[in-house]
Amino acid sequence: MTDIDDLLRRVSAKASVTMEHLPPPATAEEVAQVERILGFRLPPVLVRLYREVANGGFGPDHQLLPLRGEGRTAMSDYQEERNGSESGGDAHWPADVLPILDWGCGMYAAVDCRRPEGTVLLFEPNGVSGDWHRAWYVDAERLTDWLETWLSGTGWYEEDADEDGEMRPWEQARQRLAEGR
């Protein structure tokens, strides 16, 4: 068993214990269709998460958005955020960054799909106007690290989290947002 296999087994076990009804996993066809519509590939671990655990509905705090389906999805939120970036004004959402979790108050956890390890970003737009690159932070270098943080209960979003841990700004934000213009 690989480390990823073990991680997904533990994520699945926690998801099953913490959520009463998990949606069924996404199919290979659904993932392929989402990738075609979005125009980019999802990182392998993110694909496995949606294919092997469930199509959203589990994870930190507000739970992962479903990849696709009825209502709000990662795909629909991405399209909405990108369209908002393109319809005048400064771009606030970079291409190939998929929102996977809505923290509320306009904040998202998102995965940089250009990175095979799936860097997890925090979009925190509150108090930012115009300089949208200042709203992007690195939550975890790898999706696997982000999931381990959830499993261990040590994420910044936990009630008794270490308040001293300051998230670092996403250095690529300015460049990636400029690509969207």
Q: Give 65-101 pLDDT, tens digit per residue.
A: 999 999 999 999 999 999 876 556 678 999 999 999 9
pTM: 0.94
Q: Where are the domains of the chain?
A: 3-156+165-179
CA distance 94 to 179: 8
What's the mean per-residue pLDDT of the chain?
A: 92
Degrees to nearest 5, angle at CA 166 with 80 and 120: 40
Does the structure show a pLDDT above 70 at 180? no
Reported as a single tens digit per residue, the pLDDT across 132-155 is 999 999 999 999 999 999 999 999
- Fold held by 3-156+165-179: SMI1/KNR4-like (3.40.1580)
Which residue has better confidence, 78 or 62?
Answer: 78
Sequence-separated (6 or more) residues with CB below 8 Å from residue 20: none
